[in-house]
Structure 1
């Protein structure tokens, strides 16, 4: 159940797991598995990935990371299939993504894959890249669908659904904001004019998708399977250059 219509969809290199996620979501929703329960399971898969990296079981680490990536899409699909959106699940999903990324990169550092400075540079880089992708994708969805679920900057406290706890939503929103606002503000500062662009062409959104979390995790999985964990942090430390490149492409060619 895609977020965009068939006519508006684009080749999303970060969303290759969607068919499997949709299949799993359909069957899991029939046995009353909730989106939040799936989100908790993908956290466990991310923890297992980090542990496998630590004990040098790199192929298993890649397997668990890919499971995490697919489950990351399953929870949202379940929420859409059951028409039971969850702010708790939405923020929990993003908070867990941040924690898993930090844990995996820290584990790579602990196993001798990089220096302190490279760890920081790579982690800031991967989060910055995700914010670039999310920024343009949120703008696109708001343009095409008038979607209000996601916002450019999530600074306002959301009102919980009647079946959720407002206190829990407030706590998760505060954590989410502390994790992501610096990256979101940086992207907004670099390309505020994108808010006034009438439409993004499909080729541009496909280019942007190379910065999405799904594509990033695929790169990590490939390098793990090739036995090259020492290449992961340098890759993401430098990959932000590509993020700056796509922002420049937008400014120069899409108005």
Structure 2
């Protein structure tokens, strides 16, 4: 939760790797490693994780998936430490997350010969759950007058920083919309009134964090280590029910 003040921070069950990420970011920034370089390394870690799943090395797969999760936070930390934000990096981060999630679930599908319907439910469920988390988190930051680095719906074409390519930014923006718009728009439709909430209580945000990508990856790592790969797709196929429950809790108790 680096984008929140100390008073506004909550227990984020999806952000458990932040202390390690902060430690690595300080050391890597001293070595002149930039955020986008780290983003590509976490993509590589995710691909190695997929390879390990395919070759039935589940403990190694879990290790590389956790490494990917930590590096996913390192790039943002480096950008903040060096005061060198990157719109390109932000979009690459999300696009690579989408690709890795898809490849991991495809690899589980192939080794377990699971139902393709369950596979689709699991994949769309993971992305939907992440959109729920991001939706309320962005609203919280806006309500606290934090700098708006993310938007509810990313329709507006971003203006790149002077040290970045506007053309590449435009391409990545379009790619981001193609991958995420349907999920973000669905959450927006389900709970548009949340935009008028002045402040989400910390208990709600902690509950919400159980839908964050970091927590999802932790569950996958746990199931991989236990050799319970056959449970991964069914779990995420039905975990979206909890996401709908969180939305219902917001509507009933957080106004």
TM-score over 0.5 for the alignment? yes
Cα offset, 1:148, TM superposition: 1.5
Cα offset, 1:72, TM superposition: 0.1
Cα offset, 1:147, TM superposition: 2.1
Give the equivalent residue in structure 2 for 1:25. Answer: 25
Q: Residues 63-212 of structure 1: matches in 2 within 5 Å?
A: 63-212=63-212
In the aligned structure 2, how far is the partner of 1:55 from the partner of 1:243?
A: 32
TM-score for both structures, normalised by structure 2: 0.99
**Structure 2: where are the runs of 5+ without partners?**
none
Asked if 1 retains the 8 angstrom alpha-carbon contact of 2:4 and 2:146, the reply is no
Q: Deviations over 1:68-126 (max 9, x none)?
A: 00000000000000000001100000000000000000011111251111111100000
SS in 1 for 2:38: helix
Asked if 1 retains the 8 angstrom alpha-carbon contact of 2:112 and 2:229, the reply is no
Q: Deviations over 1:10-36 (max 9, x none)?
A: 000000000000000000001100000
Runs of 4+ in 1 over 6 A off after TM superposition: none
Give the equivalent residue in structure 2 for 1:241. Answer: 241
Give the equivalent residue in structure 1 for 2:53. Answer: 53
Cα offset, 1:2, TM superposition: 1.5
Asked if 2 retains the 8 angstrom alpha-carbon contact of 1:113 and 1:230, the reply is no
Q: Deviations over 1:112-165 (max 9, x none)?
A: 251111111100000000000000000001111332210000011100000000
Asked if 1 retains the 8 angstrom alpha-carbon contact of 2:3 and 2:146, the reply is no
Q: Deviations over 1:193-215 (max 9, x none)?
A: 00000110000000000000000
In the aligned structure 1, how far is the partner of 2:30 from the partner of 2:144?
A: 30
In the aligned structure 2, how far is the partner of 1:112 from the partner of 1:12?
A: 32
**Structure 1: where are the runs of 5+ without partners?**
none
SS in 2 for 1:146: coil
In the aligned structure 2, how far is the partner of 1:6 from the partner of 1:145?
A: 14
- Give me the CA root mean square deviation: 0.8
In the aligned structure 2, how far is the partner of 1:38 from the partner of 1:205?
A: 28
In the aligned structure 2, how far is the partner of 1:90 from the partner of 1:191?
A: 25
In the aligned structure 2, how far is the partner of 1:151 from the partner of 1:2?
A: 17
Q: Deviations over 1:174-195 (max 9, x none)?
A: 0011000000000000000000
